Amino acid sequence: MNVLDYMQTLGNQARVASRAIARASTQDKNAALVAIAAAISEQRDTLKAANALDMARGQENGLDAALLDRLELTDGRIDGMLEGLQQVATLADPVGEITDLKYRPSGIQVGKMRVPLGVIGIIYESRPNVTIEAASLCLKSGNAAILRGGSEAIESNQALAACIRTGLAAAGLPAETVQVVETTDREAVGALITMPEFVDVIVPRGGKSLIERISRDAKVAVIKHLDGICHVYIDEFADKTKAINIAINSKTHRYGTCNTMETLLVHTSRAADILPELAEAYTNIGVELRGCERTRELLVDINEATAEDWDTEYLAPILAIRIVDTLDDAIEHINRHGSHHTDSIISENYTLSRRFINEVDSSSVMINASTRFADGFEYGLGAEIGISTDKIHARGPVGLEGLTSQKYVVLGNGEIRQ
Amino acid sequence: MNVLDYMQTLGNQARVASRAIARASTQDKNAALVAIAAAISEQRDTLKAANALDMARGQENGLDAALLDRLELTDGRIDGMLEGLQQVATLADPVGEITDLKYRPSGIQVGKMRVPLGVIGIIYESRPNVTIEAASLCLKSGNAAILRGGSEAIESNQALAACIRTGLAAAGLPAETVQVVETTDREAVGALITMPEFVDVIVPRGGKSLIERISRDAKVAVIKHLDGICHVYIDEFADKTKAINIAINSKTHRYGTCNTMETLLVHTSRAADILPELAEAYTNIGVELRGCERTRELLVDINEATAEDWDTEYLAPILAIRIVDTLDDAIEHINRHGSHHTDSIISENYTLSRRFINEVDSSSVMINASTRFADGFEYGLGAEIGISTDKIHARGPVGLEGLTSQKYVVLGNGEIRQ
């Protein structure tokens, strides 16, 4: 079978399965999650053997250390999968929730019911644990899923797919509820994103160029997350201790995450008081600083930040610093150079901080908190399939609710339109 | 200037204006709506003169009576616009609403804030009143709008655009908040739907082929409404009076609307009791009936419904009738042949009607109510820009809320990630 036919077959099977999983009971979906965990636990050795094949081929092919690290299925990661499955099982089922049922003057009662999206296609890097994460979130939210992981993880993913099938069967749910693409042919991705008759939404996870390509070529909705160029703005009325703690934490808690601060903005009136102390702390931790002209008058040793720096997601121990004159300048800088991801103001001023959260056009806006909090778990979603920097449908961390939609429900007693 | 440059200019102006309108106060937006109404009221004669030019050209070009009727700006329609503007001014402002602000174990307080989408492009038929409807909804929801009405209405739309500019200026809002495309060149549509840097979402209104073409070619999100193949299912446990009233109302209240019933499904146990009486009522009103084989055993005079009928949106006094054996058959028929728009079950049975609203995959599902209620005004949205049969972002009637998104708000007190 050629790749296109194969993907169409998966798509058709997913569409059929999506109807069954959409009306599956919470009990059955949770039973499947628990049974998948049991299968993974039983097959731990098989999974590690399959992963060893991927790792060996990856080493042969000269994958870099970071990629190999993400590819590896350690016992710790397998335990993490088991824990994740249990956690998703304990989350409230979003499907079927009815809200806002209100009577209208005509006598009908109108509300909204939360329903699955249908079939979700997920395209991700060579990280086998994402297979289980994505499968569990789609399953719990009543969606069918087609998963296309990175080709380097093909053996691991197929072994995990077998565990998923075992779990689904144990709960009496269709095996096609979660399908893992079995070919590493890149045409499979092209097919997956252009089958609106079978796939309702695509969630791409990976590098910016992959996501841009998928967004450009997809014929269905894409819940996408491009880069995270996050800012902290230390306002004129900032509390110095909060400012320093949050600026350090937002940059240095982890360097490679999308909610890490990449540019620090400081109100001119506070620069002399705060920047030298902050710079010393950063330098001690090993963060390279790059500053605007005025910053470099205060911190004479640091490099110059060029125009490019303001638009760069470093994902590394590098920080750009700019001194601004007003809140408006800070907001203007963030809306122009940021990626609409996460931005935080440090201020004790009510009106200025209120303006900041109203006017900064990002998926998460914060007052006196570290940008590192922009995360599904920290927000109480229980889990997250990604962080959307889009405005349509889902914005910010996407959990179970982001994988659903709402339909209108009308309860009547024989009413007709007059 | 060529069309592409012209549209890019409009797009760029809209993007700039979108930032101002996004943070405009409720008071200023309402002032603009009222001022637009005042301008229309003052310019009533100018508007009618401009419309007379469109009507004369339309007659010359042989537009059919229905199109000419939609094109005409009567005093009644102008009064309708004025009333609509006042109504939108009285609606609650969705922008800035903060919900679900909850404390998390880390100490941060997380909630959601409703925000405009940005720039909305609306493509519609030659109905000048839609220009005001679309402008008022985008304005109130804090979005900038680029409106592209049908070319037959160009004079009317330009005259209305002048009134909109007057109203915006009176309220101190940027004139580019609402821009009406001044060219009738069809390339303008192609440009409008492929400028993701300037336009965030497209709302197409019009024929199915136009909407399909726009969905296929658009590079931005489309809130679309294709056809409305709506069903009423008379269940085994239907109340006969409700069944007959709703079946008649759903079909005959208006024939040309998307929420009109096109296919009637009847449980086999109730067919002999209900169908002859219903058929007589339909025939008296002048509705042509087309039935399945079993229906034609009861109603011997009617035409045969072919496979094509189940998939047809008649928008005319024609009704297809099918007798089914079970609720499952009814749901299967609706999910397969319907357009996921609006479907209603007539039943006194709790479990069956509950299954119907859970399992029918449509934007509106109803129990014992006429499908004609699927409408933004009837649902209490105050206004509607269209009815979405999509699952992503907005589903069902789209009002002010459907033209907004939600971002996360985090209120902290210096919290950092541990």
Closest to B415 (Cα-Cα) out of A369, A232, A377, A248: A369
pLDDT average, residue stretch A25-40: 98
Residue A226 predicted with pLDDT over 80: no
CA angle A218/A222/A228 to nearest 5° reads 120
Contact call for A363 and B241, based on CB within 8 A: no
Contact call for A414 and B239, based on CB within 8 A: yes
3-state SS assignment for residue B303: strand
Q: In whole angstroms, how far apart are CA A303 and each of A66, A295, A299?
A: 28, 10, 9
- Best mutation target, A200, A378, A407, A409, to test chain B (most B CBs within 10 A): A407
Across A237-241, B11-15, B62-66, B304-308, least confident range: B62-66
Across A391-405, B108-122, B161-175, least confident range: A391-405
Q: For residue A120, list its beta bridge partners.
A: A145, A201
Distance from A188 to chain B by nearest Cα, in Å? 21
Nearest by CB to A416, which of B201, B246, B393?
Answer: B246
CA angle A236/A239/A240 to nearest 5° reads 95
Backbone phi, then psi, for A98, in 5-degree steps?
A: -110, 130
Q: Are B355 and B236 in contact (CB under 8 A)?
A: no
pLDDT tens, residue by residue, A239-297? 999 999 999 999 999 998 899 999 999 999 999 999 999 999 999 999 999 999 999 99
Q: What DSSP character marks residue B402?
A: G
| Confidence tier at B156 by pLDDT (50, 70, 90) | very high
Structural domains of chain B sorted by starting position, each given as residue range(s) with its CATH number in brackets = 3-223+395-411 (3.40.605.10), 230-373 (3.40.309.10)
Contact call for A393 and B396, based on CB within 8 A: no
Distance from B380 to chain A by nearest Cα, in Å? 7
A81 Cβ contact partners less than 8 Å away, ≥ 6 residues apart:
A37, A40, A129, A132, A133
Residue B226 predicted with pLDDT over 80: no
Contact call for A413 and B368, based on CB within 8 A: yes
CA angle A372/A378/A380 to nearest 5° reads 155
Distance from A87 to chain B by nearest Cα, in Å? 17
Share of chain B above pLDDT 90, in %: 89
pLDDT at site B221: 85
Which is it for strands A221-222 and A98-103: parallel, antiparallel or unpaired?
A: unpaired
Residue B336 predicted with pLDDT over 90: yes
Contact call for A364 and B115, based on CB within 8 A: no
Q: Are B408 and A396 in contact (CB under 8 A)?
A: yes
Distance of CA A59 to the CA centre of its chain: 28
Structure tokens at A328: 């408006």
Distance from B63 to chain A by nearest Cα, in Å? 32
| Confidence tier at B210 by pLDDT (50, 70, 90) | confident
Report which secondary-structure segment, H or E, holds B166: helix B154-170
Question: Which residues of chain A lie closer than 8 angstroms to B373, CB-CB?
Answer: 106, 108, 410, 412, 415, 417
Nearest by CB to A102, which of B118, B380, B415?
Answer: B380
Q: For residue B150, list its beta bridge partners.
A: none
Nearest by CB to B358, which of A23, A246, A396?
Answer: A23
Give the residue with greater pLDDT, B207 vs B403. B403
Q: For residue A111, list its beta bridge partners.
A: A409
Residue A183 predicted with pLDDT over 90: yes
Question: Which residues of chain B lie closer than 8 angstroms to A250, CB-CB?
Answer: 416
Q: Are B400 and B382 in contact (CB under 8 A)?
A: yes
Contact call for B221 and A335, based on CB within 8 A: no
pLDDT at site A382: 81
pLDDT at site A316: 95
Distance from A23 to chain B by nearest Cα, in Å? 7
pLDDT tens, residue by residue, A111-146? 999 999 999 999 999 999 999 999 999 999 999 999
Nearest by CB to A362, which of B361, B366, B407?
Answer: B407
Nearest by CB to A367, which of B246, B249, B412?
Answer: B412
pLDDT average, residue stretch A335-362: 96
Contact call for B373 and A108, based on CB within 8 A: yes
pLDDT average, residue stretch B304-329: 97
Contact call for A409 and B365, based on CB within 8 A: yes
Chain B residue with the nearest C-alpha to that of A408? B364
Distance from B249 to chain A by nearest Cα, in Å? 6
- Best mutation target, A110, A197, A388, A393, to test chain B (most B CBs within 10 A): A110
Contact call for A408 and B364, based on CB within 8 A: yes
Contact call for B417 and A370, based on CB within 8 A: yes
Contact call for A23 and B359, based on CB within 8 A: yes
Distance from B246 to chain A by nearest Cα, in Å? 6
Contact call for B357 and A409, based on CB within 8 A: yes
Chain B residue with the nearest C-alpha to that of A96? B358
Distance from A218 to chain B by nearest Cα, in Å? 9
Instruction: Please return the burial class of B256, using the count of CB atoms within 10 Å of its CB with bins 0-12, 13-18 and 19+.
Output: exposed
